[in-house]
Amino acid sequence: MSSRMSAIGVFVFLFHVIVFGLGPAAQAQEVKIGIVQPLSGIPVIVDFGESYLQGNKLAVKEYNARGGYKGKPVQLVIYDDEGNPKRAVEVFTRLLTQDKVNVIIGTTNSGNVLAVMHLNQQYKIPLMAGPSIATPITKKFADQPKNYVFRCSMVEEFQVNALLDWATKKTRSIGLLHSTTGYGLFAKGEILKGLEARKVPPVVVESSNPGITDFTPQLLKFKEKNIEIILTFAEEWDIQFKNLVKIGYNPIMAGNWGMSSGKLRDIVGDDLLKNAVMGQALDLNEPKARAWDEKMRKEYGNKYHWPVIASFGYDAANLVLKALDMAGPNPDEIRDALERIDNFDAVTTGVPKKPYAKDDHECVDQKDVFLGIWEKGKVVRLKQ
């Protein structure tokens, strides 16, 4: 009797497996994270993308080493958008319609993100934008029932405000140098608006075209007016610092977080960067940040040279993975879980315990952004 009942039990079990499949604990759904970054093209843009990707990869590697999602490793599907909006649309569409990813992380160019994020909204697949910084990114769909666009990165408005608050308290002798790229013109508008609000008009405003090889004519105009602080939002900082030496001029050069790249330090050296001030959200004087920085150096060696970008990438991936653990692989539920995350243990100094809310999809707020300086080969918080 008992053997007959056992046989019947086995039959019933096999019937359920064939008809209904194994339960969720036995067959975890494959989880795929799409990542899009510029991995070829303009070197400074590639530097952003590769550094953010390094942080993404280490976070996922550690997660999979702990067992992954219900015993299965999370897969990364990585595409190069070449810094081109048209290419970005192509690869985002592929990730959403063919690769069937659960979430997407990327990309560097704000113009690319603005060109593609309607696709995430349309397909209801969360986008963790980064390291793009244009202020409007997370606000585009804020009025819809569900906003699928999040960001873990610096925000242009926040770093500009931090720079202007500091600069206008220090002096009225302020000049602006900006490029004529889309980003440079956007930054110019934000800075002029901010200076006007603070009632400190710029004494000199100069521009540069992409690919410029000599800033001497522009810098001489700042020198003629004895400008104390140059707000530099032209990306060729290495050329600017070298040209300053050539003309014997030593102003404070204050700009965006791009000035914290280790590649810039390798090119111009510590001495020329002693008067550089930049937007920042990672303080390598803090023990947690230092320990993580050492871990990254062991993982990537001399290919790792931009801590703040990589730390945002690391936190971005960990936020996605935490939401996955909270809600499972359903993209809509991952989106909801991102808003609920609390007590998050970030590496990036500025990222708070509760990064997001229903009406706030930025992982940092104005109060979390500070200014950084180069000190003994690393970027630390400027004491004010």
Q: Answer whether residue 57 is part of any domain.
A: yes
CATH of the domain at 175: 3.40.50.2300
Q: Is the per-residue pLDDT at 14 higher than 50? A: no
Q: Is the per-residue pLDDT at 55 higher than 50? A: yes
Q: Answer whether residue 1 is part of any domain.
A: no
Q: Could you tell me if 59 and 104 lie in one domain?
A: yes
Please report the pLDDT score of residue 3 as a whole number: 46
Q: Could you tell me if 302 and 330 lie in one domain?
A: yes
Strand partners, 71: none
- Give the position of tokens 């914290």: 260
Distance of alpha carbon 194 from alpha carbon 332, whole angstroms = 38
Residues 213-217: what's their mean pLDDT? Answer: 97
Q: Answer whether residue 22 is part of any domain.
A: no
Residues 24-45: what's their mean pLDDT? Answer: 82
Please report the pLDDT score of residue 166 as a whole number: 98
Burial of 324 per CB tally in 10 Å (0-12, 13-18, 19+)? buried
Please report the pLDDT score of residue 28 as a whole number: 59
pLDDT interval class at 133 (50, 70, 90)? very high
**Percentage of residues in the chain having pLDDT higher than 70:** 93
Residues 203-218: what's their mean pLDDT? Answer: 95
How do residues 319-336 score in pLDDT, each as one tens digit?
999 999 999 999 999 999
Burial of 221 per CB tally in 10 Å (0-12, 13-18, 19+)? middle
DSSP secondary structure, 164-187, as one string = HHHHHHH-S-EEEEEESSHHHHHH
Tokens of 361: 């999809």
Please report the pLDDT score of residue 1 as a whole number: 43
* Residue 313 half-sphere exposure toward CB, CA atoms < 13 A: 28
What sign for the dihedral angle of Cα 274, 277, 280, 285? positive
Residues 119-136: what's their mean pLDDT? Answer: 96
**Running DSSP on this structure, what letter comes out for residue 8?**
H
Neighbours of 26 (CB within 10 A): 10
Average pLDDT, the chain: 92
Smallest CA-to-CA distance from 346 within 360, 335, 356 is with 356
Q: Could you tell me if 150 and 290 lie in one domain?
A: yes
3-class SS of residue 73: coil
Q: Could you tell me if 105 and 198 lie in one domain?
A: no
Q: Could you tell me if 298 and 150 lie in one domain?
A: yes
Q: Range of 198's domain? A: 157-255
DSSP secondary structure, 44-62, as one string = HHHHHHHHHHHHHHHHHHH
Q: Could you tell me if 358 and 297 lie in one domain?
A: yes
Q: Answer whether residue 71 is part of any domain.
A: yes
Smallest CA-to-CA distance from 78 within 32, 147, 31 is with 32
The pairing of strands 204-208 and 229-233 is unpaired
How do residues 279-296 score in pLDDT, each as one tens digit?
999 999 999 999 999 999
Sequence-distant (6+) residues with CB within 8 A of 294 are none
pLDDT interval class at 19 (50, 70, 90)? very low
Q: Answer whether 185's CB lies under 8 Å from 215's CB.
A: no
How many domains are contained in the chain?
2
Q: Answer whether 99's CB lies under 8 Å from 89's CB.
A: no
What sign for the dihedral angle of Cα 247, 251, 257, 259? positive
Q: Is the per-residue pLDDT at 206 higher than 90? A: yes
Q: Is the per-residue pLDDT at 24 higher than 70? A: no
Distance of alpha carbon 356 from alpha carbon 362, whole angstroms = 6
Residues 352-361: what's their mean pLDDT? Answer: 97
Sequence-distant (6+) residues with CB within 8 A of 127 are 103, 104, 105, 106, 113, 117, 120, 148, 149, 150
Q: Answer whether 335's CB lies under 8 Å from 123's CB.
A: no
Q: Could you tell me if 219 and 121 lie in one domain?
A: no
Q: Answer whether residue 266 is part of any domain.
A: no
How do residues 71-94 score in pLDDT, each as one tens digit?
999 999 999 999 999 999 999 999
Q: Is the per-residue pLDDT at 23 higher than 80? A: no
Say which range, 55-69, 172-186, 303-317, has the weakest mean pLDDT: 172-186
Please report the pLDDT score of residue 321 as a whole number: 98
Q: Could you tell me if 328 and 339 lie in one domain?
A: yes
pLDDT interval class at 9 (50, 70, 90)? very low
Q: Could you tell me if 162 and 143 lie in one domain?
A: no
**Running DSSP on this structure, what letter comes out for residue 72?**
B
Sequence-distant (6+) residues with CB within 8 A of 235 are 44, 179, 181, 183, 184, 258
For the chain, helix, strand, coil in percent to 5 are 50, 15, 35
Q: Answer whether residue 274 is part of any domain.
A: no
Q: Answer whether residue 148 is part of any domain.
A: yes
Please report the pLDDT score of residue 4 as a whole number: 46
The pairing of strands 378-381 and 370-375 is antiparallel
How do residues 173-200 score in pLDDT, each as one tens digit?
999 999 998 889 989 999 999 999 999 9
pLDDT interval class at 264 (50, 70, 90)? very high
Neighbours of 251 (CB within 10 A): 19
